[in-house]
């Protein structure tokens, strides 16, 4: 039977399961994410990070969520860089799914649900995302949910010791 995927606003209580996933998946995520300090991989470090995300949520600049499979935390999905001004109204989607839950449709369903949050709750007009050029799995997820690539950000992120290019994605919401 297939797991039911959901998303919800992150909570401080999510720190321990997130830390456990991040410790287990440190090598799997190395090609896709910047290096992190040791405390990032602890429940205490995650709780501090979550507190910062929730402060951003209260300020209206970020919507930090967790991805759930049958009510268990299996990843995160975040709408960051929210610009709610009437002439901008956009946000950037980022996500990760724990290795134990990958290739089961959770990333796609989480993106679909986040797009609803962006439209219905946040009133945004434009969704953006950025992936590494090599992250074909994320390219597939974004394409399936109406995103189109629109450019390359050269030498934009330090990954595994090298500056890498990022592929920029966009989707107009409501289309």
The pTM of the whole model exceeds 0.85:
yes
136 in a domain, yes or no?
no
Q: What is the pLDDT of residue 86?
A: 81
Beta-bridge mates of residue 151: 168
175 in a domain, yes or no?
no
Beta-bridge mates of residue 145: none
Tens of pLDDT, residue by residue over 104-153, are 999 999 999 999 999 999 999 999 999 999 899 999 999 999 999 999 99
- The whole domain housing 76 covers 5-127
Number of independent structural domains in the chain: 1
40 in a domain, yes or no?
yes
What CATH number corresponds to the domain at position 60? 3.40.630.30
Tens of pLDDT, residue by residue over 48-59, are 999 999 999 999
138 in a domain, yes or no?
no
Length of the chain: 175
142 in a domain, yes or no?
no
24 in a domain, yes or no?
yes
């Amino acid at each position: 039977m297939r797991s039911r995927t959901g998303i919800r606003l992150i909570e401080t209580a999510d720190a321990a399961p997130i830390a456990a996933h991040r410790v287990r998946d440190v090598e799997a995520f190395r090609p896709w994410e910047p290096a992190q300090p040791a405390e990032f991989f602890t429940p205490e470090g995650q709780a501090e990070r979550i507190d910062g995300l929730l402060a951003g949520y209260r300020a209206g600049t970020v919507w930090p969520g967790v991805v759930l499979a049958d009510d268990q935390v299996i990843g995160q999905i975040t709408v960051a860089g929210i610009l709610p001004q009437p002439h901008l109204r956009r946000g950037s989607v980022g996500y990760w799914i724990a290795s134990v839950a990958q290739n089961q449709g959770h990333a796609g369903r989480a993106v679909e649900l986040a797009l609803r949050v962006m439209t219905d709750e946040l009133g945004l007009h434009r969704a953006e995302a950025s992936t590494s050029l090599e992250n074909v799995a994320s390219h597939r997820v974004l394409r399936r949910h109406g995103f189109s690539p629109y450019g390359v950000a050269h030498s934009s992120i330090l990954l595994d010791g090298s500056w890498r290019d990022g592929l920029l994605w966009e989707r107009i919401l409501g289309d």
